[in-house]
Amino acid sequence: MSTSDRLRAALVDGLTGDDAISDPAWRAAALAVPRELFVGSFFVPVPGSNPTAYRPVHRTDPGWLRQVYANETLITQLDGHVRPEDVTGGTVTGTPSSSSTLPSLVLGMWQQLDAVAGHRVLEIGTGTGYSTALGAHRLGDANLTSIEYDPLVAERAAAAIGAAGFAPRLVVGDGLIGDPDGGEGAYDRLIATCAVRYLPPGWLHQVKPGGVILATLSGWGFGFGLVRLVLTAPGEGTGRFMPGWTSFMIARPHDRPPRQSISLLPGDERPSRIDPEVISTWTGSWVAQLAAPSAERMGAVGHQILWDVATGSQARTAPVPGGGWTVVQRGPLRLWDQVESAVEAWQRAGEPHQEGFGLTVSPTGQRVWIGSEDGPGWNLPI
């Protein structure tokens, strides 16, 4: 047995023991696909750095193969163009824009998708091609199409997928449009390994009624929820959010627009009814993002800042010596009023994790709700 085979078997055994792999067919796929074909060089975050700095790791570095077979996301590109081999000295900062996703997450999502042999599947975000190769092993080349936005990333993925012995259909382009050659109801399943602010209408038509879309909803407030939507009619469906803590880099066309550095300006001040830190928590940030979907969230402990990209509206909180918090709001959107009401509705519902939320989509809109369709909810920014 080669070192690669031995490390891969150990990873797969670990994932099976942790219940990340329960389906023998996906276990077979994980055992068959050598991850090192897909992730030559990658970035690892430097512990304790702020902003996060990344150190390139190359094939020739000691321990490289062992790191490839860790259950870790391996970042392969920053800021849409910086590759590990471009970094000549030390470390670099930037925003991850392509990666080989955490193996437990990739395999968990493939299983949650409930795709079986014979299903036609559309994957959005080929990335390194690792998840695509796993899918091709399980579903067959002819049943899988994968779309990647970045031509250079797509070119590398195509080479790696070919080297691993698979030949699914690969498309270079904006996966938010769907398969450019796919018609109404062309797919049984759609899986996205980049996050979206709302489910693109093309997806809701290319997946047939009874079919499933598995995608992470996110936005500019760093909240995330992995939803499994079942189509009930063309363009219509409903579903629940999944347990766990899934996050993905946002689809490039849904990323926040570039902005100048923000100046904090005077505004109307009042006490805050909620502890601002709640919007730094996993589900609190999700609720805040639902309530103020065009706002970016910034700031540090005790000082939350919301800044609305479209209108310039601002909200910022500060602790009051002796207890409590104030908020200053400015601009046409009362961002803190929106967030505060949403957080209070969530708290009245018992502060459920994202898995207590659901999503209903129709031609007239997409609404995330708590508990049931008639519970408190917010429209996604379509």
> Does residue 176 interact with ligand SAM by CB under 6 A?
yes
> Does residue 206 interact with ligand SAM by CB under 6 A?
no
Q: Which is nearer to ligand SAM, 155 or 268 (CB)?
A: 155
Token pair listed for 211: 């079919």
Binding segment for ligand SAM (CB under 6 A), chosen from 52-60, 122-130, 302-310, 371-379, is 122-130
Give the residue, chosen from 84, 127, 168, 356, that forms a contact with ligand SAM under the rule CB under 6 A.
127
Tell me how far apart the alpha carbons of residues 204 and 184 are, in angstroms, rounded to a whole number.
9
CB-CB neighbours of 314 under 10 Å: 23
Tell me how far apart the alpha carbons of residues 145 and 122 are, in angstroms, rounded to a whole number.
5
Dihedrals φ, ψ of 372, to 5°? Answer: -145, 170
Q: Which is nearer to ligand SAM, 124 or 370 (CB)?
A: 124
Q: Which is nearer to ligand SAM, 126 or 314 (CB)?
A: 126
**CB distance 336 to 291 below 8 Å:** no
Q: Which is nearer to ligand SAM, 128 or 338 (CB)?
A: 128
Q: Which residues contact 282 (CB under 8 A, 6 or more apart)?
A: 245, 353, 354
Q: Please report, as a single letter, which amino acid is at residue 96.
A: P
Token pair listed for 199: 């489910």
Whole-angstrom CA distances from 340 to 288, 296, 304 are 8, 16, 13
> Does residue 26 interact with ligand SAM by CB under 6 A?
no
> Does residue 174 interact with ligand SAM by CB under 6 A?
yes
**Strands annotated E in 13-103:** 42-45, 53-57, 74-78, 92-93, 96-100
Site for ligand SAM in 42-101 (CB under 6 A): 97-101
In whole angstroms, the minimum distance from the beta carbon of 364 to ligand SAM comes to: 24
**CB distance 325 to 333 below 8 Å:** no
Tell me how far apart the alpha carbons of residues 134 and 55 are, in angstroms, rounded to a whole number.
28
Token pair listed for 140: 């067959």
Q: Which is nearer to ligand SAM, 145 or 285 (CB)?
A: 145
> Does residue 344 interact with ligand SAM by CB under 6 A?
no
Q: Which is nearer to ligand SAM, 150 or 188 (CB)?
A: 150
Q: Which is nearer to ligand SAM, 156 or 297 (CB)?
A: 156
> Does residue 179 interact with ligand SAM by CB under 6 A?
no
Interface mask (CB under 6 A) for ligand SAM, residues 216-255, using x and -?
Answer: --------------------------------xx-xxx--
Q: Which residues bind ligand SAM (CB under 6 A)?
A: 97-101, 106, 124-125, 127-128, 130-131, 147-150, 153, 174-176, 193-194, 248-249, 251-253
